[in-house]
């Protein structure tokens, strides 16, 4: 697509809508398979694709100013900070700081 | 810009534009809303100060014989909650940010005036809930609401207070949102980012924290309330919940929140120090960027409040390392302010005295923060009076001092009147002496091992506590005086003229008090920030016509 | 910039022109949505921590979720997003009637979502799966029922907050319908429709993550 | 006079010196920068006051200076970080073979249990010159175990064990404070640490106790029927607990964790929380049936099983036959089961067992 003055058409919306429905069907189907640790990865990847479709087309982020894009990226960045640094505690608690007296 | 009339009262301004209570309560003028905030937070400051004085009185004797233990616990909790959520967080951004940001960027108002008024109402409703909790038996969880005490064991009115904090949070979010959008979208022509006053940079950084941090506090509080009302178990060890998760989420907001408190104060200092040394702020770019750096790095250090709380050793080390980084931009600011004085032409009006006090006290407060950042030391002094001293040095010695600087500096702008210089200097001195006497002994107490939130304490700590209480009494007088003489000056103060300080900045290029829409005509900016050389140059440049030029 | 735009009742005094006003509002709305990201983000962080810690309980809890109802609701929300985006589209074209129809459809779909959610909540209620003293959970699997309760706590907190946002959204839609009926939206001035649209899509977006996290990702594990 | 105005806390542990040294360094740095900044401000204020310098000279800044005053503080804080991290590792990693004291905090008192069997409330006797590790939990809210003279502090949490350790150097009486706000009598939740001469301490520890903590645990183990499922011949429905403590345990979700006190505690109170690989979640929860003291006894007992200083009650095997070869330290096998895992050699040797 061209400049930001160009707004999506009804056709784009319907296409995105269909894509979303298809992805929903896929993710529900995949959930019935046992892929082990891949299950959450697949499901979240699909969710992220769906989220991006909504963000970029329905919410027209694709046609928004750079500033808006930076803002959304920043929010996601800080959310990841929250999750990542919190997990830095939870995931290392097991590396017991406590000595193993019997080694 | 119109020419200056020396009887600015005759000019229509935002104060005399309209009369009656309704014209204030339904105003969308950012200046009037700023005044509404000023009145509200002053009330809460006195209330919080009242609780503080009762705390200090109680601690005069080791036995804890003035009030009951429960009462004492409620006192410091309500002192903390009122001071933080109802006074210090909104103090500078909601009063001076509101009043000055649109003028400094040359706009008629904030981007969303109705939202701005709504913020004030939301703030007052939230404050209402907190006050309700105070009246109906108080709150005794500490301002930190730690679980599982707050969710399960406390008998006080936690839900109302939590709701209050939740609601005031939205006021903060909306203020931040308004400031961000205003700075991006409402700047006058020619006012590029690098021409913005440092006050704006500081408020911009503050607003980013407000917008990104406060929602996390909000959802945490929702979970606490659900836990307390319906026993959700998310933070309750009896159900396998982890109380530390609450602390993570709480401090994810509340550490950045301390920068919500200090960054606007730093903005004030930059404005005042430039004006009273008649100089551009040394290293403008670095001071501006350090505000942003503080805002960003401030989100990475929260668990330094939890070193001994049971987090993993490795996490503690990571957070300690990151905490040291966040100290650096503050250091950059302190050095740049100091360098600004070099070869200045310095005068000692009251705001400048507060600036000097700020730099000294903030340096001590900040450097003791570095003590706390060092995990090895924090292990000993956390939850002692050392921490209490640290945060009063940054919050009272820092932010409240800067608030007073701002109040004196922009008082003529807001009211058109001068405050009495002699009284104000005397009170600045009292604040400085009283403050140090109150809180310096607490560093010693802390290292000696006196835990905080103690209603009674071993007798050997008494002497230092008596000193602290004595200091607090002096401090109270120091804080009382401005309230009296500023109120007095509304009636009897000298007319200030439009720009008594010959200060730079767009807010001074309109009349004092400003007209309702700030500028008769949207200004076009062609000069750099802090162009004191041009202002003070004989004859001054055209854009400065009308301002009396010194020398 | 001199004010060369025809001043309408819609232009607030402190903006240069309508375009300026609209750009500002849009940006403000995005900032608000950023706060929303962080708001739900806090709950997501809690969810993640406990899923890592209490995996078995998460599997057990998640397997009692009705995937069918969740999937139906996902489809309902996606459809409502389409109708919402169309109402914005038609509002921009000044087609009042089509706007109204699309808004109404969005509202109906929103209510459907809430209705289905209510059915699910009712089911959990009947099965004593609502956290609190009456919580009771007995299924196959190696898990600790306490931890399953935490799963349900987060489930209710997250879907509840999401539903609350939906209710607010429904209120906003009604408000838009009234304003639209009064003919307040024109091709020049339709900012409110667009703003509510952004909000509605955001609420949809939250659900796009809630659905797999709560219903799907632990479904096929039979720990 | 200094009794009324103490300015520095007593130094009664090996840690105190380390912490104080860093503290003094920080005080020096803080004083240096505070005086530097104040002196510069004062000097500039006087030298460049308007009366003396009516016209300011505009200076935009200096990148060299900026780098200098970013770099120097950065260098300083990085040094502090390393130094403090070293101290922190000392503070958080108890040395091997430390004797152990169990602590249960509750609103508003401290309950201690020595492995030798002594119980105390709000008063803790410890020997000078030995490493002491505290294993702590809370019955209700969060408390914090704080001994200023030792420069140590650690929060005491409900639902799990936290730990800290110290090596007292000087006999005497020291404050014990609760440093985490815990409700009405938070400031009343104070106690005393009595540091004793080691010989005195051993005497004290041995007097008037009817069996060690582990032996109390052993009794509970039988009383609550644990022995029905946990048997040394691996014939029970539960895992053999002989060499669990301090070892890696494979869980059924694939994770491996080290069995520390918190894990044992959780296994007893929330058996479903972590399931041992190859077993079913059939162990009933003992939450609500066991007091924290009994849990501690059980933990001490299972610990003793782990290092071979105690045996599972096992009718089919002769006692003390070394039937549990997994135990890495056979040292205890000669002793009766009331000698615990945690008694270090020197302590064990000094223990005048006959005086009971
Ligand atoms: C305005 C509020 C404010 C500000 C600005 C700060 C600033 C800092 N704070 Fe503080 N802090 C609080 C408010 C604030 N704090 C509060 C309220 C609490 C307690 C909450 C509670 O528990 O109730 C707290 C608690 C607290 C703790 C936890 C203590 C504990 O509970 O155990 C820690 C630990 O790292 C810490 C560190 C810091 C650091 C490193 C800074 C830094 O940002 C400081 C940076 C500044 C400087 C460093 C000074 C200037 C520099 C120089 C002059 C140059 C030389 C510098 C060097 C050589 C480094 N603070
Ligand atoms: C903005 C924040 C702020 C401010 C301004 C203050 C100001 C003061 N604080 Fe505050 N304080 C906190 C934030 C703040 N505090 C927080 C967050 C805590 C932690 C709470 C917790 O643990 O949960 C705390 C805790 C705290 C404690 C520790 C309590 C404990 O742990 O047991 C103490 C003890 O001395 C104390 C004292 C004071 C004093 C003497 C002042 C003085 O500066 C106040 C002086 C001001 C006035 C007195 C009002 C104005 C004066 C007048 C109108 C004159 C007339 C009035 C009288 C004569 C009464 N505070
Ligand atoms: Cu226990 Cu404070
Ligand atoms: Cu902090």
**Residue D277 contacts C where some CB pair is shorter than 8 Å:** no
Task: Tell whether the model's pLDDT for residue B364 goes beyond 70.
Answer: yes
Domains and CATH numbers, chain B: 35-535 (1.20.210.10)
* Residue D156: band (very low, low, confident or very high) from pLDDT cuts 50, 70, 90: very high
Q: Who among D19, D59, D61 is closest to B376 (CB)?
A: D19
pLDDT score for D314: 53
Of B199-213, D156-170, D259-273, the one with minimum mean pLDDT is D259-273
Structure tokens at B160: 């109302």
For residue B229, the tally of other CB atoms under 10 A from its CB is 12
Q: Averaged over B148-169, what is the pLDDT?
A: 93
Name the residue with tokens 């190696």.
C142
The full DSSP string for D22-90 is HHHHHHHHHHHHHHHHHHHHHHHHHHTBTTT--SPPP----HHHHHHHHHHHHHHHHHHHHHHHHHHHH
- Residue (of D30, D43, D24) closest to D73 by Cα position: D30
Its pTM stands at 0.91
CA distance A98 to chain D (A): 6
Nearest chain B Cα to D26, which residue?
A: B371
Task: Tell whether the model's pLDDT for residue C12 goes beyond 90.
Answer: no
Share of chain B above pLDDT 70, in %: 96
- Residue (of D12, D17, D345) closest to D194 by Cα position: D12
Contacts of D40 in chain B (CB under 8 A): 338, 341
Question: Is position C35 within any domain?
Answer: no
Q: Averaged over B314-332, what is the pLDDT?
A: 95
pLDDT score for D64: 94
Question: How far is residue B156 from each of residues B78, B149, C202, D180, measured CA to CA in Å?
Answer: 12, 11, 37, 18
Task: Tell whether the model's pLDDT for residue B271 goes beyond 80.
Answer: yes
Question: Is position C98 within any domain?
Answer: yes
User: Best of B53, B70, B79, B454 to mutate for ligand 2, by most ligand atoms within 8 A of CB?
Assistant: B79
- Residue (of C88, C159, B399) closest to A57 by Cα position: C88
The parent domain of residue C131 ranges over 55-136+145-221
* Residue B190: band (very low, low, confident or very high) from pLDDT cuts 50, 70, 90: very high
Q: Averaged over D79-88, what is the pLDDT?
A: 95
pLDDT score for D352: 33
ipTM: 0.91
Chain A residues bordering chain B (beta-carbon distance below 8 Å): 67, 74-75, 78, 81-82, 85-86, 88-90, 92-93, 95, 97
CB-proximal residues (5 Å) to ion ligand 4: B 255
Question: Is position C32 within any domain?
Answer: no
Ligand 2 atom with the shortest distance to the CA of B473: 58
Mean pLDDT of chain D: 82
Contact D270, C144 (CB under 8 A): yes
Closest ligand relative to B470 C-alpha: 2
pLDDT score for D225: 83
Per DSSP bridges, beta strands D123-127 and D191-196 are: parallel
Contacts of C144 in chain D (CB under 8 A): 270-273
Q: How far apart are CA B504 and CA B96, in angstroms?
A: 17
pLDDT score for A95: 58
Question: Is position C42 within any domain?
Answer: no
Question: Is position C153 within any domain?
Answer: yes
The enclosing H or E element of D299 equals helix D292-306
Q: Averaged over B38-49, what is the pLDDT?
A: 96
Contact C32, A73 (CB under 8 A): no
Question: Is position C72 within any domain?
Answer: yes
Mark residue C132 as left, alpha or beta (left: phi above 0; alpha: psi -120 to 50; beta: remaining).
left
Q: Averaged over B66-91, what is the pLDDT?
A: 95
Q: How far apart are CA D241 and CA D263, in angstroms?
A: 13
Give SS3 for D154.
Answer: strand
Nearest chain A Cα to D133, which residue?
A: A98
Share of chain D above pLDDT 70, in %: 86
Q: Who among D60, D88, D157 is closest to B310 (CB)?
A: D157
- CB-hemisphere CA count at 13 Å for C39? 22
Q: Averaged over C16-34, what is the pLDDT?
A: 89
Of B147-161, B454-468, B529-543, D3-17, the one with minimum mean pLDDT is B529-543
Higher-scoring residue by pLDDT: C22, B256: B256
Give SS3 for D340.
Answer: coil
Contacts of B284 in chain D (CB under 8 A): 60-61
pLDDT score for A64: 86
pLDDT score for B392: 97
Q: Averaged over D152-171, what is the pLDDT?
A: 93
pLDDT score for B321: 96
**Residue B315 contacts A where some CB pair is shorter than 8 Å:** yes
Q: Averaged over C167-180, what is the pLDDT?
A: 96
Over residues A24-67, the pLDDT tens digits come to: 999 999 888 888 778 889 999 999 999 999 999 999 888 888 99
* A78–C38 CB contact, under 8 Å: yes
Contact B328, D70 (CB under 8 A): yes
Share of chain B above pLDDT 90, in %: 81
- Residue (of B97, B92, B95, B86) closest to B43 by Cα position: B86
Q: How far apart are CA B434 and CA B478, in angstroms?
A: 8
User: B99 CB contacts (<8 Å, ≥6 apart)?
Assistant: B30, B31, B34, B35, B410, B413, B414
Q: How far apart are CA C216 and CA B237, in angstroms?
A: 28
* B376–D152 CB contact, under 8 Å: no
Contact D69, B332 (CB under 8 A): yes
Contacts of B313 in chain A (CB under 8 A): 92, 97
Q: How far apart are CA D56 and CA D185, in angstroms?
A: 60
* Residue D326: band (very low, low, confident or very high) from pLDDT cuts 50, 70, 90: very low
* Residue C218: band (very low, low, confident or very high) from pLDDT cuts 50, 70, 90: confident
What CATH number is associated with residue C167?
1.20.120.80
CA distance A101 to chain C (A): 26
**Residue C137 contacts A where some CB pair is shorter than 8 Å:** no
Over residues B469-528, the pLDDT tens digits come to: 999 999 999 999 999 999 999 999 999 888 999 999 899 999 889 998 898 888 888 888
Based on the structure, what is the number of domains in chain C?
1
Over residues B121-153, the pLDDT tens digits come to: 999 999 999 999 999 988 999 999 998 999 989
- Residue (of B30, B196, B187, B102) closest to C16 by Cα position: B187
Domains and CATH numbers, chain D: 7-46+63-210 (2.60.40.420), 213-340 (1.10.760.10)
How many separate helices (H) and strands (E) can be counted in chain C? 6, 0
Q: Averaged over B49-59, what is the pLDDT?
A: 96
Give SS3 for C157.
Answer: helix
Question: How far is residue D339 from each of residues D166, D212, D300, D335, measured CA to CA in Å?
Answer: 23, 7, 11, 6
Question: Is position C152 within any domain?
Answer: yes
């Amino acid at each position: 697509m061209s400049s930001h003055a160009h707004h999506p058409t009804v056709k784009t919306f319907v296409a995105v809508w269909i894509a979303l429905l298809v992805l929903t069907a896929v993710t529900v189907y995949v959930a019935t398979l046992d892929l082990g640790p891949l299950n959450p990865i697949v499901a979240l990847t699909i969710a992220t694709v769906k989220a991006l479709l909504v963000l970029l087309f329905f919410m027209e982020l694709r046609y928004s100013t750079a500033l808006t894009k930076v803002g959304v990226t920043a929010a996601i960045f800080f959310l990841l900070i929250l999750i990542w640094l919190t997990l830095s505690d939870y995931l290392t608690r097991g590396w017991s700081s406590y000595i193993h007296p019997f080694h | 810009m119109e020419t200056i009339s020396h009887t600015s009262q005759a000019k229509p301004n935002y104060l005399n534009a309209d009369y009656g209570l309704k014209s204030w309560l339904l105003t969308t003028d950012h200046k009037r809303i700023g005044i509404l905030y000023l009145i509200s937070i002053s009330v809460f400051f006195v209330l919080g100060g009242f609780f503080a004085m009762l705390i200090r009185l109680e601690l005069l004797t080791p036995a804890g014989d003035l009030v009951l233990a429960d009462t004492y616990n409620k006192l410091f909790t309500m002192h903390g909650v009122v001071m933080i959520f109802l006074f210090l967080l909104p103090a500078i951004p909601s009063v001076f940010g509101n009043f000055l940001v649109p003028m400094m960027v040359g706009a008629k108002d904030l981007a969303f005036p109705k939202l701005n008024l709504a913020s004030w109402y939301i703030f007052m409703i939230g404050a209402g809930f907190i006050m309700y909790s105070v009246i109906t038996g108080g709150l005794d969880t500490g301002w930190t609401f730690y679980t599982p005490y707050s969710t399960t064991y406390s008998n006080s009115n936690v839900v109302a207070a939590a709701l209050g904090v939740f609601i005031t949070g939205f006021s903060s979010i909306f203020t931040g949102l308004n400031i961000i959008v205003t700075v991006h979208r409402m700047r006058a022509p020619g006012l590029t980012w690098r021409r913005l006053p440092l006050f704006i940079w500081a408020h911009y950084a503050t607003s980013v924290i407000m917008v990104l941090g406060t929602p996390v506090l909000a959802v945490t509080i929702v979970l606490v309330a659900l836990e307390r009302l319906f026993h959700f178990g998310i933070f309750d060890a009896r159900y396998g919940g982890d109380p530390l998760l609450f602390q993570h989420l709480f401090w994810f907001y509340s550490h950045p929140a301390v920068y919500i408190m200090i960054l606007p104060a730093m903005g004030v200092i930059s404005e005042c120090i430039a004006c009273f040394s008649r100089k551009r702020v040394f290293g403008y770019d670095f001071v501006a960027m350090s505000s942003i750096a503080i805002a960003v790095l401030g989100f990475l250090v929260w668990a330094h409040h939890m070193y001994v709380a049971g987090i993993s050793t490795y996490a503690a080390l990571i957070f300690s390392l990151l905490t040291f980084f966040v100290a650096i931009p503050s250091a950059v600011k302190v050095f740049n302010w100091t360098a600004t004085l070099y070869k200045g032409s310095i005068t000692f009006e009251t705001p400048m005295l507060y600036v000097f006090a700020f730099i000294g006290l903030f340096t001590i407060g900040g450097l003791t923060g570095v003590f706390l950042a060092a995990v090895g030391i924090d292990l000993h002094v956390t939850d002692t009076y050392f921490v209490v001293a640290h945060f009063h040095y940054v919050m009272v010695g820092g932010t409240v001092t800067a608030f007073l600087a701002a109040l004196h500096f922009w008082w003529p702008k807001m009211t058109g009147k001068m405050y009495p210089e002699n009284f104000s200097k005397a009170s600045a001195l009292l604040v400085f002496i009283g403050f140090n006497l109150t809180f310096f002994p607490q560093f010693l107490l802390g290292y000696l091992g006196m835990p905080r939130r103690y209603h009674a304490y071993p007798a050997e700590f008494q002497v230092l506590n008596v000193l602290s209480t004595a200091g607090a009494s002096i401090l109270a007088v120091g804080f009382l005086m401005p309230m009296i003489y500023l109120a007095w000056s509304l009636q009897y103060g000298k007319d200030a003229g439009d720009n008594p300080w010959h200060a730079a900045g767009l807010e001074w290029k309109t009349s004092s008090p400003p007209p309702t829409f700030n500028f008769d005509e949207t200004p076009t900016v062609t000069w750099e920030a802090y162009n004191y050389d041009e202002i003070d140059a004989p004859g001054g440049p055209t854009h400065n016509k009308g301002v009396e030029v010194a020398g | 910039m001199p004010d060369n735009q025809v001043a309408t009742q819609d232009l607030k005094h402190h903006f240069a022109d309508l375009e300026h006003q609209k750009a500002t509002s849009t940006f403000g709305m995005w900032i608000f949505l950023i706060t929303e990201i962080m708001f739900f983000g806090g709950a997501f962080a809690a969810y993640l921590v406990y899923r890592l810690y209490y995996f078995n309980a998460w599997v057990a809890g998640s397997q009692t979720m009705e995937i069918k109802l969740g999937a139906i609701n996902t489809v309902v929300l996606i459809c409502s997003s389409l109708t919402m985006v169309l109402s914005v589209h038609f509002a921009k074209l000044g087609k009042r009637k089509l706007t109204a129809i699309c808004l109404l459809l969005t509202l109906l779909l929103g209510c459907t979502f809430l209705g289905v959610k209510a059915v699910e909540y009712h089911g959990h209620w009947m099965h004593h799966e609502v956290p609190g003293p009456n919580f009771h959970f007995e299924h196959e699997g190696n898990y600790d029922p306490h931890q399953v309760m935490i799963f349900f706590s987060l489930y209710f907190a997250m879907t509840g907050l999401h539903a609350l946002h939906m209710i607010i959204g429904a209120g906003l839609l009604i408000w838009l319908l009234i304003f639209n009926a009064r003919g307040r939206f024109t091709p020049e001035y339709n900012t409110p429709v667009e703003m509510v649209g952004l909000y509605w899509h955001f609420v949809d977006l939250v659900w796009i993550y809630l659905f797999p996290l709560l219903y799907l990702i632990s479904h096929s594990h039979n720990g | 006079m200094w009794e009324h105005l103490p300015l520095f806390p007593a130094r009664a542990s090996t840690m105190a010196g380390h912490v104080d040294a860093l503290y003094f360094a920080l005080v020096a740095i803080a004083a240096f920068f505070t005086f530097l900044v104040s002196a510069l401000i004062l000097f500039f204020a006087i030298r460049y006051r308007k009366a003396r310098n009516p016209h300011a000279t505009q200076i935009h800044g200096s990148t060299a200076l900026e780098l200098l005053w970013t770099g120097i503080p950065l260098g300083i804080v990085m040094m502090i970080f390393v130094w403090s991290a070293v101290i922190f590792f000392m503070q958080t990693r108890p040395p091997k073979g430390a004797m152990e004291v169990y602590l249960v905090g509750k609103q508003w008192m401290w309950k201690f249990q020595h492995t030798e069997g002594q119980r105390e409330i709000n008063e803790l006797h410890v020997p000078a010159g030995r490493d002491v590790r505290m294993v702590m939990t809370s019955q209700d809210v969060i408390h914090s175990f704080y001994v200023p003279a030792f420069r140590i502090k650690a929060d005491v949490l409900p639902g799990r064990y936290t730990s800290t350790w110290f090596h007292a150097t000087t006999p005497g009486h020291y404050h014990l404070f609760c440093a985490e706000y815990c409700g009405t009598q938070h400031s009343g939740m104070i106690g005393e640490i009595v540091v004793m001469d080691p010989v005195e301490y051993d005497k004290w520890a041995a007097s008037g106790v009817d069996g060690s903590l582990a032996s109390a645990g052993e009794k509970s183990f039988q009383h609550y029927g644990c022995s029905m499922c946990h048997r040394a011949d691996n014939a029970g429905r539960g895992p053999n607990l002989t060499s669990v403590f301090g070892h890696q345990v494979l869980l059924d979700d694939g994770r491996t964790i080290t069995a520390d006190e918190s894990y044992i505690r959780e296994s007893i109170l929330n058996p479903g929380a972590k399931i041992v690989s190859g077993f079913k979640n059939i162990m009933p929860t003992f939450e609500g049936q066991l007091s924290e003291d009994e849990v501690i006894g059980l933990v001490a007992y299972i610990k003793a099983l782990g290092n071979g200083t105690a045996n599972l009650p096992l009718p089919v095997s002769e006692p003390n036959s070394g039937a549990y070869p997994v135990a890495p330290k056979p040292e205890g096998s000669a002793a009766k089961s009331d000698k615990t895992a945690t008694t270090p050699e020197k302590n064990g040797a000094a223990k005048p067992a006959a005086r009971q």
